[in-house]
Structure 1
Amino acid sequence: MKKTLLLCFIHGFKGGDDTFGEFPEHLRALVQNGLPKIRILAVQYPKFETQGDLTKCVSKFREWLQEKIIDLEVENAAPSPTIDPSVRTILVGHSMGGIVAADTALLITSDKMIESSESSEIEPSQHNSLMFPYIQGVLAFDTPYLGISPGVVAHGAEGHYNAASSAFTQLSGLATAIWGTETVADASKDKKKPVAALPAPPVKEAPASGWAKWGKIAAAAGGVVAVAGAGTAAFVNRDKITEGWSWVGSHLEFVGCLMQGENLRKRVTAMMELHENLDVGWANLYTRLGKQAVSKNDGSMVGSVIGNQRTFCNLPKKKVRELWQEAINDAAHDETGAHMAMFYPKDNPGYYDLADAAKKLIIEWTSNDWYESSTGDETTTFSIQHDEL
């Protein structure tokens, strides 16, 4: 029977179809060369809203994946997709996409979700080896399974504060002139605090004489204001003004799992058990800053956090650490930049080493009896996009 390995890519928080760049096809070609007896396909899960309940997002993704796998099983004329599947899947997730991937694997093998599970941990005996779709491995890229490193905030907060403070200051004069009240910027002028790294809702260009002016008035008067991270200024979105803080809350709900320490540890424990008991591959290739990351020592907020392990993710200890591999970026100046540039060679000198490490892991996980039993025509060049599968 002809066998197929599907590499399914899942973007992270506020990501999209461009998150992985040309990486999916590059990795597919590398894996195909290393596993010539089976067909290797690469597909990206279409852009999805990274807001609301994470468990609902995982359920939707599972349904989507099942439909794709069923189509491939029919194409391969598999007699029994659950007992002897012709298709196995590697879930490849970037950032929060790695958590979606892990929760999907755990849902398929235990019919329990991390977020909704009432028990403190998922027992090994609850794993189901007759899974559909069959998950061969979960390959994560810079996924904060144990939360985001404190250095991300410490090294970036000063820049985030300066950008937001400047934007608020521009709005303060307008509000005072109209209402004669103290604005947020005025009240916090002498209170230097880092702002939350929340992405802003999409904004549309508007003529300066229209909504742009009203937007500034509404913002300064205490309307809906979102402060974006990564150096983006504070601004107002016309379509979101009636939604109030529900927009912010909805996105916080999606990433809220990163603030639930017990569930983070539970997920890591469950994935480790899945790896050991069902031989499901699991790894996290995490970014670490290299030559361009020089901590200042001038007493500033940035200089107060010094260390040679500047990573986007918190790192595990003990045996779990063996499954995590560092991916050094010698060009990135900060953790967030390295996190976003993983799949772009011009911004990540370690791109090709990253691709090679991913290839080796997938080949290692898939070099098994299932692979050896593959028969039929060998396929050396085959790639599909998410709208073709």
Structure 2
Amino acid sequence: MALTVSGDVLLIIFVHGFKGTDQTFSQFPERLQHILTETVPDVSVECIVFPAYETKGDLNEAVIRFSDWLTTLTVEKEVASGGGAGRAKIVLCGHSMGGLLTADTLQEFVRGRPDANAPLWPKIIACLAFDTPYLGLNPGVFKDSATKALEYAQAARTVGTGFLGALAGFGASKATTPPPSETPPNAGGWGKWSGPATYALGGALLAGAAAGVTYYKRDDLALSFSWATDHLKYVGNLWDNAALNKRLEQLVESEEKEGIIFRNFYTFIPPTPLLNSAGRTFIVLPKKSSHVASRFILARNGLATTEVEAHTGMFAAKTNDGYYDLGLEAANAIRTAILTSRGTLVES
């Protein structure tokens, strides 16, 4: 027996991006659900994370899989609510390449209608993206990653040289120092070896630590560079300017003609005195004079040191000091979508 639910049934669907997982969004979905439940009347909110999927192969195949999953989910939720087709209102939230996936899925449903005047089903009322490279990745992502890797390589080389020099000096000084003639009183068996063993062990540990740090940092910092290049391998059409612009135009058209709210919240690292004179972004931004620009919303992150860190860490307060503001901005966009779908939005 279906359980009748009063008010709107709102399903907020989260889709991760390149190499993402079910944990990509951390507690962000729960935060959005709480804000909307408390601030929007007559709405039953449920946040659902699309199960982790392999981010490789053809993007169109991923669109088909997601479309099938969303169709089945919508039917189940509408039946459970006791309403008919169109009862559930859908908000698509995609991080990174997940924003490309949700945008293309939206267009599949729009084009799949019998005619342009037919109602859209599933009833998608908003398509929100989080740091999605609709116009490609910012070239600075590669530049900063390569520069940072070179800095660490130089630092590791300096540290390694220093340790080798210190160890060489230590060996020379020990060779000219005569061994002690007596063992300290009450030292026991360990006392005979404590001095030489401590120095030798300490030197080995320090040398090993230096080598370990060098190796660790090499892998750790090369990750951001390889991450960015792999990102491009997965979605080759990031180089296709015509296709990128067409996708954006379709999103704007869907908002203007269908009332489907579109926003892209992009990470922004503020300028750093003496290091970076300008703010940094993970994605390429549209020209300020473009009609698309108003849909790109700045999401400040003063904790991240690289664009990749800002991009991957935007859904946790410990890695993003703009986390709470991001939640409020996203909730406001969804609230606008709900009121628009009800026909009760009053322009200020």
* 1:297-350 deviations in Å (ceiling 9; x for gaps): xxxxxxxxx652311111112111111110111111111111111011011111
What's 1:34 paired with?
39
Instruction: Please show how residues 158-307 of structure 1 align to structure 2 within 5 Å.
Output: 158-160=147-149, 230-232=221-223, 254-290=234-270, 293-294=272-273, 296=275, 307=277
C-alpha change, 1:330 and 1:131, in structure 2 (3 Å) is same
- CA positional deviation for 1:163: 7.6
Confirm or deny: 8 A CA contact 1:145 1:268 kept in the other structure.
yes
Instruction: Mark the structure with the bigger radius of gyration.
Output: 2
What's 2:186 paired with?
none
Q: Secondary structure at the match of 2:48?
A: strand
- The one-letter code of the counterpart of 1:266 is K
Distance in 2 separating the partners of 1:326 and 1:68: 32
What's 1:120 paired with?
none
C-alpha change, 1:336 and 1:277, in structure 2 (3 Å) is same
Confirm or deny: 8 A CA contact 1:31 1:40 kept in the other structure.
yes
Q: Secondary structure at the match of 1:319?
A: coil
Distance in 1 separating the partners of 2:64 and 2:106: 11
**1:141 paired to 2:130:** yes
Distance in 2 separating the partners of 1:6 and 1:99: 19
Query: Which of 335, 338, 346 is 1:366 aligned to?
Result: 338
**1:87 paired to 2:88:** yes
What's 2:106 paired with?
105
Instruction: Please show how residues 330-369 of structure 1 align to structure 2 within 5 Å.
Output: 330-368=302-340
Show structure 1 runs of 5+ residues with no match: 113-124, 167-226, 236-248, 297-305, 373-389
- The one-letter code of the counterpart of 1:148 is L
- CA positional deviation for 1:295: 5.9
TM (normalized to structure 1)?
0.64
Q: Secondary structure at the match of 1:232?
A: helix
Confirm or deny: 8 A CA contact 1:95 1:142 kept in the other structure.
yes
Distance in 1 separating the partners of 2:224 and 2:285: 31
Confirm or deny: 8 A CA contact 1:13 1:96 kept in the other structure.
yes
- % identity of equivalent residues: 34
Distance in 1 separating the partners of 2:68 and 2:153: 40
Q: Secondary structure at the match of 2:110?
A: helix
Distance in 2 separating the partners of 1:143 and 1:295: 29
- CA positional deviation for 1:155: 1.3
C-alpha change, 1:161 and 1:68, in structure 2 (3 Å) is farther
* 1:175-209 deviations in Å (ceiling 9; x for gaps): xxxxxxxxxxxxxxxxxxxxxxxxxxxxxxxxxxx
Query: Which of 10, 13, 37 is 1:8 aligned to?
Result: 13
Distance in 2 separating the partners of 1:96 and 1:128: 30
Q: Secondary structure at the match of 1:367?
A: helix
RMSD of aligned residue pairs (Cα, Å)? 3.1
What's 2:51 paired with?
46
Determine which structure has greater relative contact order: mean sequence separation of CA pairs < 8 Å that are 6+ residues apart, divided by chain length.
1
- The one-letter code of the counterpart of 1:32 is T
Q: Secondary structure at the match of 1:271?
A: helix
Confirm or deny: 8 A CA contact 1:51 1:252 kept in the other structure.
no
Confirm or deny: 8 A CA contact 2:131 2:267 kept in the other structure.
yes
C-alpha change, 1:165 and 1:230, in structure 2 (3 Å) is same
**1:76 paired to 2:76:** no
Q: Which consecutive segments of 4 or more residues in structure 1 shift more than 4 A?
A: 125-129, 160-166, 227-230, 249-253
Q: How many pairs were matched up? A: 275
What's 2:284 paired with?
314
**1:67 paired to 2:72:** yes
- CA positional deviation for 1:101: 0.9
**1:56 paired to 2:65:** no
Confirm or deny: 8 A CA contact 2:259 2:341 kept in the other structure.
no
Confirm or deny: 8 A CA contact 1:96 1:143 kept in the other structure.
yes
Distance in 2 separating the partners of 1:56 and 1:262: 21
* 1:146-187 deviations in Å (ceiling 9; x for gaps): 001111111112234678999xxxxxxxxxxxxxxxxxxxxx
What's 1:153 paired with?
142
C-alpha change, 1:156 and 1:70, in structure 2 (3 Å) is same
> Comparing both structures, which one devotes a greater share of its residues to helix?
2
Confirm or deny: 8 A CA contact 1:32 1:40 kept in the other structure.
yes
**1:19 paired to 2:24:** yes
Confirm or deny: 8 A CA contact 1:87 1:134 kept in the other structure.
yes
TM (normalized to structure 2)?
0.72
